[in-house]
């Protein structure tokens, strides 16, 4: 280990990035449940660790609309492709 850095997302401590002297790559040590899937992942640099942790943290914090009791709109009907009527082509 060469050095370690705190990784925070939106003011929440989510883990630490460990810079390895031999490979000069960072591995992530997760401390927050939302980013647990990234624990042990190796990335090219500290910026990559912070960016990926932020993506994971924020995505895990969004509830599914139906789980939150919100109504979802039905999908639009499938598009119909084909020729327009002759009068519409003029």
The predicted model scores a pTM of 0.67
Q: Which distant-in-sequence residues (6+ apart) come within 8 Å of 19 by Cβ? A: 1, 2, 3, 4, 5, 25, 26, 46
Question: How many angstroms separate the CA atoms of 72 and 66, rounded?
Answer: 7
Per-residue pLDDT reduced to its tens digit, 36-71: 999 999 999 999 999 999 999 999 887 655 555 555
pLDDT on residue 67? 55
Residue 49 buriedness (CB in 10 A; 0-12 / 13-18 / 19+) = buried
Nearest to 18 by CA among 52, 42, 54: 42
Per-residue pLDDT reduced to its tens digit, 60-69: 887 655 555 5
Alpha helices in 1-90 (DSSP H): 46-61
Domain boundaries, the chain: 3-61
């Amino acid at each position: 280990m060469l050095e370690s850095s705190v990784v925070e997302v939106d003011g929440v401590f989510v883990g630490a990035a460990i810079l390895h002297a031999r490979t000069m790559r960072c591995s992530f040590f997760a401390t927050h449940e939302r980013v647990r899937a990234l624990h042990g992942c190796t990335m090219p640099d500290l910026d990559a660790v912070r960016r990926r942790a932020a993506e994971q943290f924020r995505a895990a914090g969004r509830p599914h609309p139906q789980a939150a009791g919100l109504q979802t709109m039905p999908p639009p009907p499938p598009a119909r492709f084909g020729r327009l009527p002759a009068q519409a082509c003029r």
